Chain A
Amino acid sequence: ETGVTQSPTHLIKTRGQQVTLRCSSQSGHNTVSWYQQALGQGPQFIFQYYREEENGRGNFPPRFSGLQFPNYSSELNVNALELDDSALYLCASSEGTYFHTEAFFGQGTRLTVV
């Protein structure tokens, strides 16, 4: 039990639609990061938020966006879904900025785009 929860656990969307994934971090964890993990690969960094501000982004297009709220919850929004967006989406939280301290992951949201 990591104290990080994600919802929903599974989701099926149609190409072109928009989706919002949610993450609830541990209390006191000011940093949340989002990752995309395709089948058989390691997670790829999407972006990171620290105290409600984005402070780092990976090689993902602008249709991937996020929000972080003061109550340690956060969202990942993906617009204009493409078939290649099908993956496991993971959020991770930590006390410090970046991964200077230990990172705790949620169980993930499995997104399928058809």
Chain B
Amino acid sequence: KQEVTQIPAALSVPEGENLVLNCSFTDSAIYNLQWFRQDPGKGLTSLLLIQSSQREQTSGRLNASLDKSSGRSTLYIAASQPGDSATYLCALLNTGGFKTIFGAGTRLFVKA
């Protein structure tokens, strides 16, 4: 059974800091992995989608990496800003599966 864990559960950093959010999974037979952002009480915004054949994806100040062999993905945020404050969720689709499995998320607070 696939399990997705995100560490830390919460993180507070000063503005301008570079930071890394972690996502680990127990079954490496995944089809893809997606990172989302969720503002309080709101829906999810897709940030980056990494297919299983890819190692990383970049969008602006965000870079996501995927290492299936170690069961890990990281989301790197450069030069963090107060507007980055939100919960960040990783989600993956198993090979041959039909449901996307989410981690519980990391709550990020960037202090001005």
Instruction: Determine chain B's interface SS by DSSP, over half rule.
Output: strand
CB-based nearest A residue for B105 = A42
- A56 touches which one: B42, B91, B99 (CB < 8 A)? B99
- Bound CA–CA A99/B34 (angstroms): 9
Provided the pairs A99-B32, A102-B34, A103-B34 are in contact, do residues A33 and B42 lie with their beta carbons within 8 angstroms?
no
Residues of B25-44 contacting chain A, CB below 8 A: 31-32, 34, 36, 41-44
**Chain B residues near A102 (CB-CB < 8 A):** 34, 46, 49
**Chain B residues near A66 (CB-CB < 8 A):** none
Cβ contact within 8 Å between B43 and A107: yes
- Bound CA–CA A35/B45 (angstroms): 14
**Chain A residues near B46 (CB-CB < 8 A):** 2, 102-105
- Bound CA–CA A48/B99 (angstroms): 8
Cβ contact within 8 Å between B31 and A100: yes
**Chain A residues near B89 (CB-CB < 8 A):** 42-43
- B43 touches which one: A48, A99, A101, A106 (CB < 8 A)? A106
**Chain A residues near B34 (CB-CB < 8 A):** 99, 102-103
Closest approach, in angstroms, between the C-beta of B49 and any C-beta of chain A? Answer: 5
- A43 touches which one: B31, B41, B97, B102 (CB < 8 A)? B102
- B44 touches which one: A44, A45, A55, A105 (CB < 8 A)? A105
- Bound CA–CA A92/B99 (angstroms): 12
Residues of A8-55 contacting chain B, CB below 8 A: 33, 35, 40-45, 48, 55
CB-based nearest B residue for A41 = B104
- B103 touches which one: A42, A100, A108 (CB < 8 A)? A42
Q: What would be 6 A-B contacts, judged by CB atoms less than 8 Å apart? A: A42-B89, A42-B104, A43-B44, A43-B89, A44-B102, A103-B34
- Bound CA–CA A104/B46 (angstroms): 7
- Bound CA–CA A41/B5 (angstroms): 11
